[in-house]
Amino acid sequence: MTGHYDLLLKVWAKDLRQLSYFLINYLPTHPDIAQTETMLVLELVSDWRDRLIPIDKVLPD
């Protein structure tokens, strides 16, 4: 990644309680985590897997 962030971690939680537990009780215990910022997806417009391009279609022969 480039820019302000060093890492993007996608987490799927079944509800806000499960997500809160992960963010408050688990993530800060990792020694390499100094700071976090949480962004929530409110609605999924398109699944990225629908746009995958096979690597052999991109690379030259």
pLDDT for residue 6 = 83
The pTM of the whole model exceeds 0.85: no
- Mean pLDDT (10-residue bins), the chain, 61 residues: 82 88 90 88 71 69 64
Backbone angles phi, psi at 45, to 5 degrees: -85, -40
pLDDT for residue 13 = 86
7: amino acid identity, one letter? L
Spell out the alpha helix ranges (H) of 1-61.
16-21, 55-58
pLDDT for residue 49 = 64
pLDDT for residue 18 = 92
> What is the distance between the alpha carbons of residues 22 and 19, in angstroms, rounded to a whole number?
5
